[in-house]
Every structure is written in structure tokens, then in C-alpha cells.
Amino acid sequence: MTEPLAQGRIPVLDVGAYLAGEAGAAAPLARAIARTCEDTGFLVVANHGVSQQLVDDTFAVAQQFFACPEPDKLALKVGEYNIGYLPFGAQIVRHSPVNNNTRPNFSESFYITRDRAPDHPDIVNRKPLVGINRWPADWPEFRAATTAYYRAMEAMTTRLVPLFALALDLPADYFAHAFAAPNCTIRLIHYPAHPTPEDNEFGFAPHTDNNFITFLAQSKLPGLEVRTAEGDWIRPPAVPGTFVVNTGAMLARYSNDRFRATPHRVINRNVRSRYACPFFLGPNHDVVVEPVPSCVGPGNPPKYEPTTYGAFTQHLLTLNFAHRQGSGSDAHA
């Protein structure tokens, strides 16, 4: 069952006062986040401070890139690291908790991570899961738009992490070390028109995110659907200028499933292409992720063994991407 809207199930939260440092602004937001993360795992943030021009510029270059000739895009195809162009047919989501996905996503993507120079120590030392971005040649506007968006999103999203700590009844700075140098990724996505999908065919198959929280700028066309605990598929509120935010597997692990990673999917039933540019916020790859003290106890033992975000990410990359099958090399989410 799919409802046209998430009537009351996915709240729109104004974070402007909190980001401005107003006293008392954090507590009600944390309570609202706790309520929705225990329900749908989705919320919408307004007055976040990220320039709409940065968002529009990112959507614009995404649309221009995906309109490029196929050979030009394939020249930037993902390889050892999940950075660059992911063509149609290259991803089957095999870790879905709610659907046996058997078909590749009906979409193409482009991954962008932290922009590092070739002489950056992590590149020189070949740190696992770290690579150099792949940029289209002779197109500085693409790099400028997406890196500006990356910087603004990293700054804004990390400022909201303390709200999630408070929502878990932890000190506001509990995750400060884990997110001092966060692992972030922009994924530009093109969903062609798909008004009559075949059985078990999706623009993006039902899945859960593997990071901490995801921020999705509002697209011009609908397509994103969220699965409730009752098994219904609902749509987040489409409020212009806001970000749709959802839980990921790392938050589920930290919270011992108090805040579960929520399944969601994309079906572009529109008659023209849909574009998306989700921003994935995760802790540093080397940080150990395990259930936090406020979410375990005598009657609630840990459901997860400690792991690092890097180890978890590498496993899912190998599971889901065709170019990772049979490869033991590292990749970047």
C-alpha cells in the first residue's frame, strides 16, 4: 500500500533557532527526533542554513553530467574506489531487509567524496577506503558546484549530530570524536522516466542506508517512498527548500536498534527524468561503532558486535556492486 503523503508520520522540524545558538532550542528538537526515529526513521529539516543556490547548482550540474555522451561518462567509471560514475545495471541491492531485490537499479549515479590532492597523506599512504575524486575534464563548474555543496553540507550536518546524541539520552558531545573528521559522500543520481515499472523493478530498490544519517535535498519530482513498521509505503512531505533526513545502519548500531535504519525506495513514475543528490554522513572509517550506554542494560543486551564503519562499508560494497564482486580491494561508499 502506498499513501500519497505521510500524514503526520514524518515531521518538519525548524532547526534555525538551534543553529543560531538560541538557548533551549535543542531539547524540543531532540525529543521530536527521538519520536520520529522510533517510528518512521524519517524527518524533514527546515531553515538549515544551506544556500538554495548551492542546491540548485548541484542539481544543474548533475543533470548536465548525465546528459553527456556515454563514452564520456564511462571514462570516469568507478573502479577500485566507489568514486565517479556508476552506470546502469551496476548495482543490485542485496542487503534489503524487506524485499528480495533481483534486478539492478534503474538509475545511474556519480559519487563524490572529500576532495583530496594526490599528495594528501591518506592518498600517498593508500589508506583503505580513501581515494581521489574523478572529475570531468575541462568542466571546472562541475567540481566547483559539488565541492561547495559538499563543504556546506558537511558543516551543517555535523552541527545536527548533537541533537541525535540528545535524542538517545546522551551528552550532546558524545559523538564529537567520531565525527571530528566524518566520512561523507555525495551521490548524484539520475532516474529516467519509469511510468510502468515491471515486477520487482525500481529506480532504487528497497534498501537501508549504511551510514549514520542521510540528507536528501528535495527533488522537483516525487519518487521517494518510506516503509512504515506496518508495511505501508508513504512519501515524505515535499516542502521546497528543506532536506529529508533518514536513519542509517550506523545509527541503528549505536542505538541498539532503538532507532532502526528505515527501508526506503525510489520509483520514478513520472514521464520525465528525476534527479537526486543525497548527502551521506558517517563517522570516521576508523571509529569503533557499538551500542551506546543509554541503549543497553540488564534487560536489553547489545544486539551488535563492535565494528568499524570502514569494515561495515567494505562488506556492503562487495555485496551490492557488480564491479566489487570477486575483488578484495578497498572501496569508498
In a domain, 1, yes or no: no
Least confident of 212-216, 272-276, 318-322: 318-322
Least confident of 47-56, 162-171, 193-202, 268-277: 193-202
- 114-130 pLDDT, tens digit per residue, is 999 999 998 998 887 88
Task: For residue 299, give the CATH number of its domain.
Answer: 2.60.120.330
In a domain, 5, yes or no: no
Give phi and psi for 248, each to the nearest 5: -130, 180
Residue 88's domain spans which residues? Answer: 12-208+218-230+246-324
In a domain, 264, yes or no: yes
In a domain, 36, yes or no: yes
Task: Encode 100-128 in three state secondary structure.
Answer: CCCCCCCCEEEEECCCCCCCCHHHHCCCC
This prediction's pTM: 0.93
Residue found under cell 540548485: 56
Q: Is the pLDDT of residue 6 over 70?
A: no
- 147-156 pLDDT, tens digit per residue, is 999 999 999 9
In a domain, 329, yes or no: no
In a domain, 79, yes or no: yes
Number of domains composing the chain: 1
In a domain, 7, yes or no: no
- 285-295 pLDDT, tens digit per residue, is 899 999 999 99
